[in-house]
Amino acid sequence: MNHNDHAPNITGMPLEAAVEHITGADPRFALTQACIHGTAYTVFANAPANLRALLQKSADTYGHRDLLVYQDQRWNHGQFCDEVLRLAHGMVEQLEVAPGDRVAIAMRNYPEMLVLIMAAASIGAVVVPMNAWWSADELVFALEDCGARVVFADGPRYEAVASHAKAHNIALVAVRDAKGSLSYEQIKDRPEPVTWPAVPLDPDDDFAVLYSSGSSGTPKGVVLTHRGAISAVHSLVMFKEMTPLINPTADAPPPPQTASLIVTPLFHVTALNSMFLQGLATGAKIVLIYKWDPDLAVGVINSEQITRFVGVPTQSVELMDAARRQDQDLPSLAGIVAGGAKRPAAQVSLLAQAFPRAMIGSGWGMTETNGLGIVASGPDYVERPETAGRLTPPLQQALIVDEQGREVPTGQIGELIIKSPANMRCYLNQPEATRSTLRDGWLYTGDLARMDDEGFFYIVDRKKTIIIRGGENISCLEVEGALHHHPGISEACVFPIPDERLGEVVGAAVYLLPDSDVTESKLQHGLASHLAAFKIPERIWFWPTPLPRGGTGKIDRHSIRSECTNIPTPIPAGDNHG
């Protein structure tokens, strides 16, 4: 049962009418045109010009509200802003960080990471959050690629990059459990009051370099601007403000302060933009946990009255299972959203039944779009569990095009392309990849999709992971969705395997729930009621542990395929999802 089932039957505005109303009536969301690097875009006229302005507005508007919680530590919006400013001045005075300098951050989900990101942004530096799951070689690659002159690192990452930093004269600053001659506390230790940095910031200045997951091949540094991040965050804020117009309820009480639990890494765009920066903009409370633990998450959700949970699909299911084990129904949760990977359709109704007060949702976005993209939620999502949703208004345009870049008819499959001021500026040091991906203001996502006549998008697959079996195209996601209908399967990954006669056939790797007696033949037989015969996997590998994942927490299709079939992992055009 969805939480809207017992709401009074009040007719809401259609999405398009709600967009027209709020952009015309609310000055915060008024629109105008801007030319960005030679291309015209629709932009917000009155949004904060940069992230420093966003922080300042947060402190002025929500100063005494809780902002950040980590274990027994708490910061309100004003206290957080004060720490950011102290650190910003210390970075300039002690580390001589200048506008445009790259400041790398290598750590797990600690509060210092968020302070560092905003401090660097406030002085015009470019922050580079590095994947904390990377090996030492991968960390060093990113340091060399981005040209960082300062690195803030926790203990394991400090040790991993220490010799490289010393050899290349990179200032290395110890955070939390790291031991070194220069520490985070020393940099921010300023007893006197601090003021806002006077460095001018242009909306189109670079804000961050976020690396794509690098599930195969070399990671790409995605260069994001202040305007891009603000455009994404302000669009999400507007969408939240529109919700009562689209789904009104009679005599609804004022909603509580949004409290978001961050369970995905802050070095990726979902946690950073869609959770943290949106929280700054809306006066939310952000609660961090060091690493994902569903049993711990249940306790934190109850103790902090968490209203919003965003994670990869597996985390939603594990949270549901942990709540059942502990006999907790998590009544504060108002939203459970999946990001980073497509949620299997079979999970949507299960979650809606398990959490009847919560709006179940899913989002599609990319690092290259600052996380902005397509959203499905509530009754629309429960009724269409296969959909990615509708385009988040009001700045984005989307088309589905063929190989020649021509728009395809409604319902047909093509590549999804997006035009938006939230899109990346470029790939760092990769002009050819940039030209291939950004064309005349349009970002070619590499995702195959279709759109129905109501404007709902359906992501069919990655362009490079379609299985072509004897000329027939097979969606890996479709087969994975069918596998998830089997009650004994916890995780599934589908990929092509070579075949002398047909070119490619379907292969799959699965991880089973405890005590499951599933066999290959049983699975293949069970799939016959869900899939055409040519789509059923011809080989199924049973994995003894949870399936390997890449840097974003998504199942690592390429490495699984390589291990199962002993085929060298291919180097694709890029894994663009954030």
- For residue 526, give the CATH number of its domain: 3.30.300.30
Residues 348 and 407 grouped into a single domain: yes
Between helix 15-25 and helix 226-246 the angle, nearest 10°, is 120
Do both 373 and 497 map to the same domain?
no
Beta strands in 420-563 (DSSP E): 426-427, 438-439, 442-451, 457-462, 467-469, 472-474, 489-499, 503-512, 539-543
476 Cβ contact partners less than 8 Å away, ≥ 6 residues apart: 461, 462, 465, 466, 467, 494, 495, 557
Q: What value does the mean pLDDT of the chain take? A: 90
1 in a structural domain? no
State the pTM of this model: 0.84
| Helix, strand, or coil (residue 563) | helix
Query: What is the count of structural domains for the chain?
Result: 3
Q: What is the pLDDT of residues 183-203, one digit of tens each?
A: 999 999 977 778 999 999 999
d(CA 553, CA 551): 6
Q: Is residue 69 part of a domain?
A: yes
Mark which of 427, 462, 497 sits at the end of a domain.
462
CATH code (residue 403)? 3.40.50.12780
Q: pLDDT digit of tens for each residue in the chain (578 aa)? A: 344 443 444 678 999 999 999 999 999 999 999 999 999 999 999 999 999 999 999 999 999 999 999 999 999 999 999 999 999 999 999 999 999 999 999 999 999 999 999 999 999 999 999 988 888 888 999 999 999 999 999 999 999 999 999 999 999 999 999 999 999 999 999 777 789 999 999 999 999 999 975 433 467 899 999 999 999 999 999 999 998 888 787 566 677 789 999 998 999 899 999 999 999 999 999 999 998 999 999 999 999 999 999 998 888 988 999 999 999 999 999 999 988 777 888 889 999 999 999 999 998 999 999 999 999 998 899 999 999 999 999 999 999 999 899 999 999 999 999 999 999 999 999 999 999 999 999 999 999 999 999 999 999 877 767 787 876 778 888 899 889 988 889 999 999 998 877 788 999 999 998 888 899 999 999 998 888 788 999 999 999 999 998 876 788 888 899 898 875 443 333 333 33
27 and 128 fall within a common domain:
no
The answer to whether residue 497 is domain-embedded is yes
Of 460, 511, 459, which is closest to residue 486 (Cα–Cα)?
511
In a domain, 491, yes or no: yes
CATH code where residue 121 lies: 3.40.50.980
| Residue numbers of the domain that contains 310 | 15-45+226-462
Closest CA to 547 of 558, 536, 539: 558
Residue type, 248: P
Q: Are residues 266 and 392 in the same domain?
A: yes
Task: Look at residue 139 and tell me if it is in a domain.
Answer: yes
Final residue of a domain: which of 442, 462, 482? 462
Q: Specify whether 279 is located in the same domain as 320.
A: yes
CB 297 within 8 Å of CB 336: no
CA distance 412 to 396: 21
Claim to verify: residue 102 and residue 237 sit in the same structural domain: no
Are 404 and 293 contained in the same domain? yes
pLDDT of 575: 36
Residues 6 or more apart in contact with residue 62 via CB below 8 angstroms: 76, 77, 283
For every residue of 175-208, DSSP letters joined together read -TT---SSBHHHHH---S----------TTSEEE
What pLDDT is attached to residue 216? Answer: 38
**Residues 523, 420 share a domain:** no
Does a structural domain hold residue 323? yes
Residues 41, 55, single domain; the answer is no
Q: Strands of 426-427's sheet, edge to edge?
A: 171-174, 150-153, 102-106, 126-130, 206-211, 221-225, 426-427
Interval 80-105: pLDDT, tens: 999 999 999 999 999 999 999 999 99
Do residues 264 and 327 both lie within one domain? Answer: yes
Could you tell me which of 232, 288, 264 has the C-alpha nearest to residue 114?
288
Q: Which residue has the tokens 């905003």?
A: 118
- Do 504 and 371 lie in one domain? The reply is no
Cα(418)–Cα(397) distance, integer angstroms: 6
Looking at the fold, whether 179 and 278 belong to one and the same domain comes out as no
Which of the listed residues 440, 462, 484 is the one where a domain comes to its end? 462
Give domain status of residue 233, yes or no: yes
Domain membership of residue 420 (yes or no) is yes
